Amino acid sequence: MRRKYLNPLICLFAVGSLVLFSCHGDNGKSMNGGGNDTIAKVNPKSTQVEDQDSETYLLPSPLQIASIFKNSGLTFMQGLTATIKDGSQFNSQYEQALNMGLYSADLSYDVLNKQTDDAMKYLNVVKSLSDKLGFGSVFESNSFMKRFQANMSSTDSLAALIAELQMETDTYLENNKQKYIGVIAFAGAWVESMHIGGIVYQKEKNASVSSRISEQMNILEGLIKLLSKYQGSDSHIAGLITELKTIKTAYEAFDEVKTYNPDSEQPISLNAEHIGQLNDLIQTLRGKFVAA
């Protein structure tokens, strides 16, 4: 069994696709009772991970990605998220999972930016797609929709609810041997998050956002490997892997990446031209998603 030591910065993202936010306000109220609107950071205490397969590929949740971008100074821009559609418009399981992830990223982006009306619309689509995928019971058993509506005034509470929903969904997929659905969904969420980050960066040229974009590219390798592991579960996965590898290859050809010192504690900061090139590839892939 081989141990894999992770860069602490990557551990900030990586908690096995479960969000470990502690979303209590200063007054000690939980997600059912409000609190302030400061999103707590994940505490990456452990940098050692191992499993029975000798390799561990850890993925963040859409909420984590949105929070990381938000904390880096990414501002809200109207009109960046996907057009809201009814879940019945997505026919194949692949389309349903992919767009569930995409809408989950938009949901997280809106929640963290206090766009609660739109967030509720995205939550409804996520629930509709969950119904079609067979695990809508996750929403019902925990009264997520009612609790979400009851906490619309608290960003902390809504973020905690999304984190809980992610964990319940992951547990369901694990127990029902459908983890590949979660990986496909994450691919949709990752592309949508990169789309939002890239567009906002191109407008504001925030260096911190540039670094976060390059850090997200570190996650792409693990995503591709996980998709490859589940390639036999859905015939569409092979094409998605090809598209993601195109993005990965372009990124690795950038001078900033080729000359990067892996022992450095500083993240790679891509220049505006390279982020533009990366964003063009992201937009091309996003345009192939049904919801885009």
Q: Check residue 58 and give its pLDDT.
A: 56
d(CA 16, CA 63): 13
Q: Check residue 146 and give its pLDDT.
A: 92
Token code pair at residue 123:
């939550």
Q: Give the tens place of pLDDT for each residue, 52-86.
A: 333 344 577 888 888 888 888 888 999 999 998 88
Mean pLDDT of the chain: 80
Of all residues in the chain, the percent with pLDDT exceeding 90 is 52
The band of 87, judged by pLDDT with boundaries at 50, 70 and 90, is: confident
> 10: which residues sit within 8 A by CB, 6+ positions away?
58, 215, 218, 219
Q: Which DSSP state fits 42? A: P
d(CA 158, CA 164): 10
Q: Check residue 54 and give its pLDDT.
A: 33
Q: Check residue 276 and give its pLDDT.
A: 95
Instruction: Work out the average pLDDT over 18-45.
Output: 33
Q: Where are the domains positioned within the chain? A: 62-286
Residue matched to tokens 């937009």: 283
Angle of CA points 94, 66, 215, to nearest 5°: 90
Instruction: Work out the average pLDDT over 157-178.
Output: 91
Instruction: Work out the average pLDDT over 246-275.
Output: 92
The angle, 0 to 180 degrees and rounded to 10, between the axes of the packed helices 207-229 and 62-71 is 160
pTM for the model stands at 0.80
Instruction: Work out the average pLDDT over 218-247.
Output: 95
Q: Give the tens place of pLDDT for each residue, 3-24.
A: 332 333 333 333 333 332 223 2
Q: Give the tens place of pLDDT for each residue, 104-152.
A: 999 999 999 999 999 999 999 999 999 999 999 998 888 889 999 999 9
Instruction: Work out the average pLDDT over 257-273.
Output: 89
> 169: which residues sit within 8 A by CB, 6+ positions away?
130, 135, 138, 182
Cα 216 to chain centroid, rounded: 10
